Structure 1
Amino acid sequence: MNISVSALKELVAQKFTAHGVDAETAAQVADVLIYADLRGVSSHGVMRVEHYITRLKAGGITKNPNFSVEKRGTNHLLFKGDNGFGHVICKEAMDETIKIAKEHGSCTTIIQESSHCGALGYFLEQATSENLIAIMCSQTDSAVVPFGGKEPYFGTNPIAYGFPTDDKPIILDMATSNVALGKILYAREKGETIPNTWGVDVQGAPTTDPHQVKSLTPFAGAKGYGMALVVDVLSGILASAAFGPHISKMYGDYEQKRNLGQYLYVLDPNIFGDIDQFKANISQMINELHDAPTAPNFDQVLVPGEIEQKRSAETMEKGIDLPEQVYNYLNS
């Protein structure tokens, strides 16, 4: 089912307000979800609405949270989200982080009492639009087997980097698993098979059936496993939150608050040099990569985030394709 971006935003926001969410919060959550759908990352898009409302109705998301910001030293913040929508928590926390980074050159923020926040790239673009560099990571519940293991331990634990340029920012937003769990769920919704490198079944064997996936696999073996550990230390243990298999499940125990942690770091490039020169050098790097000789079956070398940015521009014009089940739920 195809729907225009504006119509979808209105539909998603109305779905949330119908369940008692205030209009501003509903619009913000819808904006983050559609950001993902525009970029072809449907696993983090509006297909998640039904899940969020299920958790909201059960009490696992605070409908009217009270956020608090505590300054720790000159340029460190502790942001408590009162277990509201992670999309709004992270947006507000990034706004506060940007303010301090502009004043003092950098800022590190630890977020406590959060929930699932969607695509990290959305929040990085808040910073890159202000000519700032940003890093963000978020813990997730156990879903990925550790390198050499059979049972899941860490979550997909995404980490993202954003760099301002003279044009569109460079955004590297990646799970530390081969794919995000949402891609498995999306394949289930669409009735599609998956590559056998995405997940393993109950026996720990690779599978192409998304319904048989019990655990995901880390990207690049030991390297992805190591990065997942780093993310859980920064966004979990440092935030005095649970970690690994001790994190509450996203799909289950809907009445429980998730108390997730997230980590933000924002840096002003002017601390180490001139921002215009910084962006000029990045533009040179991008142009050189674009002009680099290509391997067979490739038209051009691209930089991180570029495919998603091009897809976003195209999708804005033609509208967003939704699985019929998701479309029907939003209209119900």
Structure 2
Amino acid sequence: MSEVFKVVQEETHNALVEAAYKHRGYSAEESAYAAKFSAYASTHGIRTHNALKALHLDHLFGSGSQGCVPDAKIEKLESRFEASQTWNANKKLGQATAYEALETCIELADKYGVGQVSVDNAFHYLWGGGYVMEAAKRGYIAYTNCTAALAEVVPFGGKYPTLGTNPHSWGFPTVDAVGFPIVIDWATSVIAMGRVQQLAREGASLPPNAAVDKDGNPTTDPKQAAALIPFGAHKGYGLSLINEIVGGFIGGSLPTIRNRSWEQADEKHTACFYFQVIHPDAVSSGAFAKSRNQSQNVKAVIEDILGHGNESCLLPGQIEAGAAKKTAANGGLLFTDAEIAAFNELAEECGSPVWDADSFAIAKS
């Protein structure tokens, strides 16, 4: 049986999310960024990294702990490289920091062809695909990775979680070619912990070989999942390792004490993230066959890949584009009754009006 979704106006959603962040001490600007990003995730059907996940993370590891400081100021360090910046985020809210990093990378890419920003002492920025999708819609190639809030993934062949879910996200400006930006965005575990939390909330089971319980045994019960397994065995492990090593070069903390073991004051406990934006003109040879331009050439490559009997294959980002169309057709963000109940817990926390689930229209499929 398919899930039933209710239609919540974006303004209603954003008002509650902003109120929740302000209640926890965040500035109006930070709260607005958080609401904007949460709405963007929900628009594209990203239920694992919506406002519920964001505020849950903040409660566990952010303003409710020691991992995030409301209204912190970013320190931009001196660099001898004109197209590169390194920041000390001073534990500023991840979404606000990431939006600023993305805009900075775009400005650098417009000037130098490529721009990169590495961020130390960061708080998790949630759905990396949202940032690169935004850049791709504006005509840029973009990449980001980050170290996750916690070490929740066991290395290939191991039993103890020493890696984060450590996502990689690429966005490509393919709106002209296929009608939407291709966004390749994945956690390096079989599933994200946000998905585990969502399935637990919905009373559903995990896929096999995605998680282990506290004793290191495989489990399909999301409420018993203590750690996750890398996708693709040694390949997913290697991709997860990339994020930890990049974070190590930036200045990142030890994965097993990140957002934990705060009594170890001589160690850092924060995440790192990295952004890169490339102007398409900066990588173009101009030597496209049959007098095609760059966009036409990209389209031809994609059509060749999806030809030859592969016409029913999906492109990364296609499901999200479909979700955005469904959101637009319904005139609001789509949430289940279980999610609305979780939003109402936030409303009670910050003293905002609760939502009446019965007052919202049922979404059209």
Q: Secondary structure at the match of 1:136?
A: strand
Contact 2:154 2:228 in 1 (8 A): yes
- The 5 Å alignment of 1:108-127 reads 108-127=116-135
Contact 1:50 1:329 in 2 (8 A): no
Structure 2 residue 12 is matched with structure 1 residue 7: yes
After TM superposition, the structure 1 stretch with the greater mean CA deviation from structure 2, 198-207 or 270-279, is: 270-279
Residue 61 (structure 1) aligned to one of 68, 81, 93: 68
Task: Summarize deviations over 1:3-32 as a string: whole Å, max 9, x none.
Answer: 233321222112222333222211111121
- The 5 Å alignment of 1:106-185 reads 106-140=114-148, 141-165=150-174, 166=176, 167-185=179-197
- Structure 1 residue 39: Cα displacement: 2.4
- Alpha-carbon distance between aligned partners in 1 of 2:252 and 2:46, rounded to the nearest angstrom: 27
Contact 2:180 2:317 in 1 (8 A): no
**Count of residues paired in the alignment:** 324
Aligned partner of 1:20 in structure 2 is 25
With over 3 angstroms needed to count, the CA separation of the structure-2 counterparts of 1:204 and 1:12, relative to structure 1, is same
Structure 2 residue 33 is matched with structure 1 residue 33: no
Residue 78 (structure 1) aligned to one of 65, 74, 86: 86
- Alpha-carbon distance between aligned partners in 2 of 1:286 and 1:85, rounded to the nearest angstrom: 37
Letter of the structure 2 residue corresponding to residue 321 of structure 1 = F
Identity %: 25
Aligned partner of 2:345 in structure 1 is 329
Contact 1:241 1:259 in 2 (8 A): yes
- Alpha-carbon distance between aligned partners in 2 of 1:7 and 1:284, rounded to the nearest angstrom: 43
With over 3 angstroms needed to count, the CA separation of the structure-2 counterparts of 1:292 and 1:13, relative to structure 1, is farther
Letter of the structure 2 residue corresponding to residue 37 of structure 1 = S
With over 3 angstroms needed to count, the CA separation of the structure-2 counterparts of 1:26 and 1:37, relative to structure 1, is same
With over 3 angstroms needed to count, the CA separation of the structure-2 counterparts of 1:70 and 1:100, relative to structure 1, is farther
Aligned partner of 1:211 in structure 2 is 223
After TM superposition, the structure 1 stretch with the greater mean CA deviation from structure 2, 37-46 or 57-66, is: 57-66
Contact 1:289 1:302 in 2 (8 A): no
RMSD between superposed Cα atoms in Å: 2.4
Residue 95 (structure 1) aligned to one of 83, 103, 128: 103
Residue 287 (structure 1) aligned to one of 286, 303, 328: 303
- Alpha-carbon distance between aligned partners in 1 of 2:112 and 2:90, rounded to the nearest angstrom: 27
With over 3 angstroms needed to count, the CA separation of the structure-2 counterparts of 1:258 and 1:84, relative to structure 1, is farther
Contact 1:95 1:126 in 2 (8 A): no
- Structure 1 residue 224: Cα displacement: 0.1
After TM superposition, the structure 1 stretch with the greater mean CA deviation from structure 2, 192-201 or 139-148, is: 192-201
With over 3 angstroms needed to count, the CA separation of the structure-2 counterparts of 1:272 and 1:46, relative to structure 1, is closer
Letter of the structure 2 residue corresponding to residue 281 of structure 1 = N
- Structure 1 residue 90: Cα displacement: 0.9
- Structure 1 residue 135: Cα displacement: 1.2
Structure 1 unaligned segments of length 5 or more: list them. none
Aligned partner of 2:203 in structure 1 is 191
Aligned partner of 1:307 in structure 2 is 319
Structure 2 residue 276 is matched with structure 1 residue 268: no
Q: Secondary structure at the match of 1:152?
A: coil
Aligned partner of 1:239 in structure 2 is 250
Residue 200 (structure 1) aligned to one of 212, 220, 227: 212
Contact 2:30 2:71 in 1 (8 A): no
Give the structure-2-normalised TM-score: 0.82
- Alpha-carbon distance between aligned partners in 2 of 1:35 and 1:186, rounded to the nearest angstrom: 18
- Structure 1 residue 68: Cα displacement: 2.3
- Alpha-carbon distance between aligned partners in 2 of 1:41 and 1:258, rounded to the nearest angstrom: 27
Aligned partner of 2:58 in structure 1 is 52
Structure 2 unaligned segments of length 5 or more: list them. 349-365
Contact 1:47 1:326 in 2 (8 A): yes
Aligned partner of 1:42 in structure 2 is 47
Letter of the structure 2 residue corresponding to residue 162 of structure 1 = G
Contact 2:67 2:270 in 1 (8 A): no
- Alpha-carbon distance between aligned partners in 2 of 1:103 and 1:4, rounded to the nearest angstrom: 39
Task: Summarize deviations over 1:194-234 as a string: whole Å, max 9, x none.
Answer: 11222111232221101111110101000000111111111
- Structure 1 residue 244: Cα displacement: 2.7
- Structure 1 residue 58: Cα displacement: 4.4
